[in-house]
Copies of this chain bind each other. A is one copy, B any other.
Amino acid sequence: MQQQIALSDDGRPTGHFRNTAYVINESRPHFDAAHAAGLMGIQGRSTAGRAFALGAGSIDNRPQMIDFVRCSYLGLDNHPAIVTGAIEAIEAHRSLHWSCARTRLNFDLLAELEATLSEMFCTRVLAFSSVMLANLGAMPILASGQLTSGRKPVIAFDRIAHISLAYHKPVVADEARVETIAHNDIDALERLCREHPVVAYVCDGVYSMGGNSPVKELRQLQERYGLFLYIDDAHGISLFGRQGEGFARSQFPKLLGDRTIIAASLAKGFGASGGMLMLGTLDQETLFRRYSIPYAFSVAPNLAAVGAALGSCKIHQSPELAERRRRLAERIAVFDRRVVTAEQGNSLPIRMIAIGSEAKAIAIARELLNAGFYTSVTFFPTVAQGKAGIRVCITADHDVRDIERLCDCILEKLTDTVGNGSGPP
């Protein structure tokens, strides 16, 4: 059967997925204001713990800021074992990077890293130079039906799945049917599973702007209907599981099976640099090592990233992992006792201060910066229009007093705002 669809007068289907011009026109004033306020595109240098020296020039003359922007939730990004791992790998090879595809020649240390991660996470792990590229490689393979016994799935994206997934909708839609469902809408997903023989769901594990996917319910749909799951757990890695396998992986059985792929970060909680995919079967591994586009046509993580990740594996296999998680939980609790957010009480390290107006969010983030705290002001297109706010990333490495001072500061600024007759939270 052939159906018909309306095209615009230049002969193409009218933008189903993207309207970049609209995004730019709507958000440009806020971006410009945030840049003018010194909140975006700033530079700095690590000093100690979560502090950094703002700007350029001599370290001694720069103001020190406490950073709540970086997603190094376990505070590993300046851990000596990771820094040393990076340097040692470069020294062992007297090279940083080989310009060739992974389908050709690979650093022996990269093979060692993948073997170590595979054992730690009880899956087949492939490393990528970033999570964005790991996802890029997976989406067309998922669309092709090669992961679902040769039958193309209907692919349902969570409405707020990360842009590194949502970007690919038009590519996926060129080969398979794409649906976008409401955030965490298990009922809608179950309806799709009932209506179609093969369905795949694409979502985040831990969402970068707060919250998480309902993995338990997703697994139930998988068991009932054979639902294929593709979960980007970049923000969940290292925080859960015996050896840090992450929010998503730790909620699956020992064997991942042939219906689940988990993407994760080698940076963020893990503390190194790059991304990875966790695959459940040899067939999937073989397929990705041939047909993932960045695997075949882009580059591996460089040797510093590989060495840093090998260093982080050692930390993940030691009692230090539990100790750092304990410190993180303690610090999240300190924050939650002071500031009410939608995330209050969950065990994730992301907290969103809801503000609403973009201009007010920028003004408050600027006042926090004046007080020595660098936070992420978030607005459209990262969150919905009129839902601007401030993101705070808590880490195991923060000084408890700095968190307390940040909280006091947030409460003070929010009260000022309410006092000015302007609303939330």
Does A24 make an interface contact (CB < 8 A)? yes
Select which of B24, B41, B86, B109 is within 8 A of A291 by beta carbon.
Answer: B24
A70 and B98 contact, Cβ closer than 8 Å, known pairs A18-B174, A23-B291, A105-B52:
yes
Does A290 make an interface contact (CB < 8 A)? yes
* A96 adjacent to B69 (CB under 8 Å): no
Q: Which residues of B contact A3 (CB under 8 A)?
A: 6-9, 11
1/0 contact trace for A143-167 toward B, CB 8 Å? 1111000101010000000111001
Q: Closest chain B residue to A311 by CB distance?
A: B96
A94 and B78 contact, Cβ closer than 8 Å, known pairs A24-B146, A105-B43, A170-B171:
yes
* A20 adjacent to B136 (CB under 8 Å): no
* B167 adjacent to A18 (CB under 8 Å): no
Q: Dominant SS at the A interface?
A: mixed
How many copies of the polypeptide does the oligomer hold?
2
Q: Closest chain B residue to A67 by CB distance?
A: B105
- Minimum Cβ distance to chain B for residue A66 (Å): 12
Does A28 make an interface contact (CB < 8 A)? yes
Does A396 make an interface contact (CB < 8 A)? no
* B18 adjacent to A175 (CB under 8 Å): yes
Does A267 make an interface contact (CB < 8 A)? yes
Q: Which residues of B contact A145 (CB under 8 A)?
A: 21
Q: Closest chain B residue to A71 by CB distance?
A: B99
Does A129 make an interface contact (CB < 8 A)? yes
Q: Closest chain B residue to A9 by CB distance?
A: B1
Does A239 make an interface contact (CB < 8 A)? no
A77 and B98 contact, Cβ closer than 8 Å, known pairs A3-B7, A177-B11:
yes
* A40 adjacent to B273 (CB under 8 Å): no
1/0 contact trace for A1-39 toward B, CB 8 Å? 111111111111101111111011001100100010000
Q: Closest chain B residue to A289 by CB distance?
A: B41
Which of A20, A110, A140 counts the most chain B CB atoms within 10 A? A20
A83 and B94 contact, Cβ closer than 8 Å, known pairs A20-B143, A105-B42, A130-B130:
yes
A139 to B370, CA, bound (A): 37
* B90 adjacent to A304 (CB under 8 Å): yes
- Minimum Cβ distance to chain B for residue A42 (Å): 6
Select which of B19, B43, B287 is within 8 A of A111 by beta carbon.
Answer: B43
* B97 adjacent to A305 (CB under 8 Å): yes
Does A335 make an interface contact (CB < 8 A)? no
* B174 adjacent to A273 (CB under 8 Å): no
Q: Which residues of B contact A86 (CB under 8 A)?
A: 90, 96, 304
A16 to B171, CA, bound (A): 10
1/0 contact trace for A294-307 toward B, CB 8 Å? 10111100111100
Q: List 23 A-B contacts (CB under 8 A).
A: A5-B7, A12-B178, A15-B174, A18-B171, A19-B175, A21-B144, A21-B146, A24-B144, A43-B108, A45-B107, A46-B98, A70-B100, A78-B95, A80-B94, A82-B96, A87-B91, A97-B267, A136-B136, A163-B293, A164-B293, A273-B299, A304-B304, A304-B305
Q: Give the top 10 A-B pairs by smallest Cβ distance, nearest first.
A: A304-B304, A20-B144, A97-B273, A71-B99, A3-B7, A170-B170, A132-B298, A1-B9, A170-B174, A21-B144
Can you name 12 extra interface pairs (CB under 8 A) apart from A41-B102, A96-B304, A302-B304?
A11-B177, A17-B174, A18-B171, A20-B143, A21-B152, A23-B291, A40-B104, A45-B109, A67-B105, A83-B94, A87-B91, A130-B299
Binding site for B on A (CB under 8 A): 1-13, 15-21, 23-24, 27-28, 31, 35, 40-46, 52, 55-56, 67, 69-72, 77-78, 80, 82-83, 86-87, 90-100, 102-112, 129-133, 136, 140-141, 143-146, 150, 152, 154, 162-164, 167-168, 170-171, 173-178, 265, 267-268, 272-273, 287, 289-291, 293-294, 296-299, 302-305, 308, 374, 376, 382
